[in-house]
Amino acid sequence: RQAKKLSDYKAPEFTITDVELSFELNPQATKLTAVYQLKSASGKAGTLILDGQELKLLSVSLDGQLLNADCYQVTAEQLILPGMPAKAQLELNIELNPQANTALEGLYLSNGAYCTQCEAEGFRRISYYLDRPDVLARFTTHIIADDTAYPALLSNGNLVSSTLLPDGRRHVTWVDPFPKPSYLFALVAGDFDCLKGSYTTGSGREVALEFYVDKGNKNRAQFALESLQRAMLWDEQRFGLEYDLDIYMVVAVDFFNMGAMENKGLNVFNSKYVLADQQSATDTDFFNIESIIGHEYFHNWTGNRVTCRDWFQLSLKEGLTVFRDQQFSADMGSATLNRIDAVKTIRTAQFAEDAGPMAHPIRPQQVLEMNNFYTVTVYDKGAEVIRMLHTLLGQDGFRKGMDLYFKRHDGQAVTCDDFVNAMQDANGRDLTLFSRWYQQSGTPELKVHSQFDAKKREFKLLMQQHTPATADQADKEPLLLPVRVELLAEGASLPYLLEMTETQQEFSFAVSQKPVPVLLADFSAPVKLQYQYSMDELLQIARDAKDGVARWDAIQQLWQIQVKAAIEANSSGAEYQLPAALFEFYRQLLVKPLDDLAFTAELLTVPAYDMVAEQFDEIPVQTLVVALQSFQQQLATQLAEQWQLCYQSLQAEAYQYQQQQVAKRALRSVCLHYLAFVAGKDELLRQQYNSSDNMTDQLAVLRACRSASHPLFAELMSAFEQRWNKDVLVLDKWFSLSASYPQPPVFNTLEQLTAHPQFSWQNPNRVRAVFGAFYQQNPAMFHSEDGKGYQQLADVVLKMDAINPQVASRLVTPLLSWKRYQSARQQQLKAVLQAMLTRDLSNDLYEKVSKSLS
Ligand code: HT7
Ligand code: ZN
């Protein structure tokens, strides 16, 4: 199997300027006629090589002449046409079988509706093509299908004609005036309900907004529509970017490999990121909908108008667009809480990726299967890199850079260097050193010491940076790190922005008293910080720092200290008791919550297993699980009265998705969580479950009961299943809760879940709901000592590989990091991976499994 390398990039020898596609839809035999206007870059004739996979080629014509089969060559992945003139019209006739397409790439069926997914390399499963992002063509799409069964026939751009044919079929034509790469092509055909709205752009143009959803779900799309309107306004106000077509359509489908897809003018969404109402969706679901609707909309400029030259540049559009959606969410709600969530993602999933066999820079250098590189590194670390530019240049400087980027590159396919150059040139600042972030993988460690000289009234920070070797790259160089610092002294906080450029550097500050340094405030760089804080200093930061992220982070560090102490106590057979100072801090927070109740809730939450685990080179699974459970039990028991009083002070009100209410529910849920660990709270739990008017509060009860392994769990879960049995999207929550029950019966439960009438191996949402939850939210059982959890997941991965390689390849991730565990687990993990490698694997799975064993 041949990996592709960034260093091998060559501009295409031929390009396609215009594409005309005509689809006659049929579940098993869709007919496609594809007509391309071809042009050679050199002006000379040559061999044209088109990408194609799993296609039935019926005929090929060149400039109107049918070609004999010996004039071209068809392989498993290419159509090779020698002697192609410098300018030509090529026509292909192809037959497709959407019904057999379980990989959900190319043209497939979702509950009877046709839809497409072309990013990254899915268009080649629709037609032979130059399926690479630097070939930009104008697309015209004709769709012919039965008018009764498929009243909605959609594609990119604007609808230019719609004709009912005598045989009862309809023929529609869509023209997209913006040249685009094939990965942005989309087609949808089905019988949907449509929620309509509109948006008037800053320059006064009216844009039709249309949301296509399963029948009966129109009301559940209202929030998504309003989110889109907010996103459109925000992008005009923040970046001066207006929408450019007359119509923006969103289609919600149940069968989908990822969250959503930004096809030009016709987004396709996983229905879970469109449909919501208070009965069926949680506050987090509403938040995610707004953020993902924003993300896909923002791609219209960062991704579609300016696209990627090649797939190694994926972070050009994804890192930047995640940064933009994070800024949008921060402006729509709490900036601090949004930032905390982003930090959690980096510290858990991204640092873990850096430490594992799939480590790669935000611009990968070598790829076997592109679908494997839609990663937390490319997306979220990519967004951190953009954020550092924003920190270094300031909001205005960043905006100047964005303006220049669009001025230079609108309508082009470009590289990450082009983006950094625009930032550099617009601000007159050399960003050569900064660019290293694009080439270097791994998590930098930032070690800091401090010195105070009372006589000189000088405080010094001595900083060292070091990036450990990663699986893909042995040698590392120093990076440009923006380090936000606050110095706390005499009740005041002084802010600084330091720029670290060397391996070692010293920074001096004139102060009269020894300050407590708040280091890496706002998590200003994606690094691991090491500084010896005392408990008292951390508590002071938690109380007095200006930056909310730093306050939260101080509590995280306090918990890390507790975890280490608990592990030490455990090794000498003792049970560790949390210190009085920590109870006192929590008691005060409960008696007098901060103005921001959501932030208070966040501070009162014991870090999750994966946050704590990431601090260890070798993860002591069972000790961590036991320690975290014991911490929650101790807090629950010691402060039982305070949890109860705080809970009672937060009376439920008629549900609205609105900031203050969301915050209040978050704090109530935290109180309820601890109360589930206290005896005698059955009535309270039952009461909240039965009386609440919304999914957030109901799910809080189920989650609390699950975490505390409370006897009520089974009873309430059964009620939930009965209530939501017909609504698969909601039932996914039940699947996840069932799979994350932290006790051994869960292995039987997993079997029962996959036999449930609503479970389907073909539907990624169902598979992820069960098995994603099992490995992400059930560390005790996933890592169970007999290796059963690993074997269970390995079996599922192999089964899925034959159905949907993208899903299989995402599911395998937790099995890859065998080096992070103690020897018995290492052996078990290695054994399942080695067994996998003896099978005939997809490229997706092969790339990951083989790397993990090499
Ligand atoms: N740009 C999209 C990435 C994507 C994708 C989406 C759905 C299914 C398969 C996919 N492969 C890649 C989504 C985004 O980042 O906005
Ligand atoms: Zn994206």
Cα atoms in the Cβ-side hemisphere of radius 13 Å centred on 423? 24
> What average pLDDT does the chain have?
98
How close is the Cα of 119 to the center of ligand 1, in Å?
6
* Integer angstrom CA distances of residue 449 from 201, 352, 489: 53, 26, 18
Q: Which residue, judged by its Cα, is nearest atom 2 of ligand 1?
A: 261
How close is the Cα of 231 to the center of ligand 1, in Å?
19
The CATH classification number of 16-191 equals 2.60.40.1730
Q: Which amino acid belongs to residue 807?
A: V
- Give me 687's structure tokens: 């009461």
Backbone angles phi, psi at 307, to 5 degrees: -115, -175
Atom of ligand 1 nearest to the CA of 322: 15
Cα–Cα distance, 76 to 772 (Å, whole number): 33
Atom of ligand 1 nearest to the CA of 296: 16
With a 6 Å cutoff on the Cβ, whether 296 touches ligand 1 is: yes
Phi-psi region of 676 (alpha: psi -120 to 50; beta: other; left: phi over 0): alpha
- Give me 800's structure tokens: 């899925």
With a 6 Å cutoff on the Cβ, whether 295 touches ligand 1 is: yes
- Among the bound ligands, the one closest to the CA of 259: 1
Choosing from 20, 105, 296, 602, which is the catalytic residue? 296
pLDDT greater than 90 at residue 575: no
Q: Enumerate residues 6+ apart whose C-beta is below 8 A from 179.
A: 17, 136, 137, 138, 411
With a 6 Å cutoff on the Cβ, whether 374 touches ligand 1 is: yes
The domain ranges of the chain are 16-191, 307-434
* Integer angstrom CA distances of residue 274 from 210, 394, 728, 762: 12, 34, 14, 21
How close is the Cα of 272 to the center of ligand 1, in Å?
15
With a 6 Å cutoff on the Cβ, whether 380 touches ligand 1 is: no
Q: Which amino acid belongs to residue 180?
A: K
210: closest CA among 298, 132, 269, 140?
Answer: 269
- Which residues are in the CB-under-5-Å shell of ion ligand 2? 318, 321
Write out 626-669 in H/E/C secondary structure. HHHHHHHHHHHHHCHHHHHHHHHHCCCCCCCCCHHHHHHHHHHH
How close is the Cα of 296 to the center of ligand 2, in Å?
6
How close is the Cα of 269 to the center of ligand 1, in Å?
10
Counting ligand 1 atoms within 8 A of each CB, the residue from 374, 763, 768, 807 with the most, and so the one to mutate, is: 374
CB-CB contact of 578 with 627 (8 Å): no
Q: Enumerate residues 6+ apart whose C-beta is below 8 A from 274.
A: 211, 213, 220, 221, 224, 250, 252, 289, 293
Instruction: Identify any residues that bridge with 518 across adjacent strands, giving them in sequence order.
Output: 486
90: closest CA among 141, 1, 2, 21?
Answer: 21
Question: So what's the pLDDT on residue 13?
Answer: 97
H-helix or E-strand spanning residue 704: helix 695-707
Cα–Cα distance, 793 to 787 (Å, whole number): 10
- Among the bound ligands, the one closest to the CA of 120: 1
pLDDT in tens, 191-219: 999 999 999 999 999 999 999 999 999 99
Instruction: Identify any residues that bridge with 39 across adjacent strands, giving them in sequence order.
Output: 15, 87
Q: Which residue, judged by its Cα, is nearest atom 12 of ligand 1?
A: 119
Atom of ligand 1 nearest to the CA of 374: 12
pLDDT in tens, 447-467: 999 999 999 999 999 999 999
How close is the Cα of 382 to the center of ligand 1, in Å?
15
SS3 (DSSP) at 358? coil
Mean pLDDT for the stretch of residues 171-175: 99
H-helix or E-strand spanning residue 790: helix 788-803
pLDDT greater than 90 at residue 478: yes
With a 6 Å cutoff on the Cβ, whether 105 touches ligand 1 is: no
pLDDT greater than 90 at residue 574: no
Mean pLDDT for the stretch of residues 141-153: 98
The band of 571, judged by pLDDT with boundaries at 50, 70 and 90, is confident
pLDDT greater than 90 at residue 811: yes
Q: Which residue, judged by its Cα, is nearest atom 14 of ligand 1?
A: 261
Backbone angles phi, psi at 15, to 5 degrees: -125, 165
For the chain, the 3-state helix, strand and coil shares in percent, each to the nearest 5, are 45, 25, 30
Atom of ligand 1 nearest to the CA of 256: 8
Q: Enumerate residues 6+ apart whose C-beta is below 8 A from 357.
A: 471, 816, 817, 848, 851, 852, 854
Q: Which residue, judged by its Cα, is nearest atom 15 of ligand 1?
A: 318
How close is the Cα of 758 to the center of ligand 2, in Å?
30
Apex CA 549: angle with CA 631 and CA 777, to 5°? 45
How close is the Cα of 273 to the center of ligand 1, in Å?
13
List, edge to edge, every strand of the sheet that includes 481-489: 492-500, 481-489, 516-519
pLDDT greater than 90 at residue 446: yes
Count the Cβ atoms, other than its own, within 10 Å of residue 161: 10
How many angstroms from the chain centroid is the CA of residue 492?
A: 38
* Pairing mode of beta strands 247-253, 266-270: parallel
697-706 burial string, b = 16+ CB within 10 Å, else e?
A: bbbbbbbbbb
477 is a catalytic site residue: no
**Cα four-point dihedral sign 69, 72, 78, 84:** negative
Cα–Cα distance, 148 to 800 (Å, whole number): 34
With a 6 Å cutoff on the Cβ, whether 261 touches ligand 1 is: yes
- Give yes or no on whether 16-191 and 307-434 have one common fold: no
- Among the bound ligands, the one closest to the CA of 264: 1
Q: Which residue, judged by its Cα, is nearest atom 13 of ligand 1?
A: 261
Cα–Cα distance, 554 to 536 (Å, whole number): 10
CB-CB contact of 389 with 434 (8 Å): yes
Cα–Cα distance, 133 to 231 (Å, whole number): 26
pLDDT greater than 90 at residue 573: no
Cα–Cα distance, 271 to 325 (Å, whole number): 19
ipTM: 0.98
Mean pLDDT for the stretch of residues 152-156: 99
- Whole-structure pTM value: 0.99
Question: So what's the pLDDT on residue 570?
Answer: 87
Counting ligand 1 atoms within 8 A of each CB, the residue from 116, 251, 261 with the most, and so the one to mutate, is: 261
From the CA atom positions of the chain, what is the Rg in Å? 28
Q: Which residue, judged by its Cα, is nearest atom 11 of ligand 1?
A: 119
Cα–Cα distance, 472 to 360 (Å, whole number): 6
The band of 648, judged by pLDDT with boundaries at 50, 70 and 90, is very high
Backbone angles phi, psi at 140, to 5 degrees: -115, 130
- Among the bound ligands, the one closest to the CA of 119: 1
Atom of ligand 1 nearest to the CA of 806: 9
With a 6 Å cutoff on the Cβ, whether 318 touches ligand 1 is: yes
Counting ligand 1 atoms within 8 A of each CB, the residue from 101, 108, 258 with the most, and so the one to mutate, is: 258
With a 6 Å cutoff on the Cβ, whether 124 touches ligand 1 is: no
pLDDT cut 70: percent of the chain above it: 100
Token pair 């691991």: residue? 528
* Integer angstrom CA distances of residue 494 from 240, 643, 833: 34, 35, 52
CB-CB contact of 682 with 704 (8 Å): no
With a 6 Å cutoff on the Cβ, whether 277 touches ligand 1 is: no
How close is the Cα of 318 to the center of ligand 2, in Å?
5
Given the candidates 1.20.1560.10, 3.40.50.150, 1.10.390.10, 3.40.50.880, the CATH classification of the domain at 307-434 is: 1.10.390.10
pLDDT greater than 90 at residue 283: yes
Cα–Cα distance, 689 to 704 (Å, whole number): 11
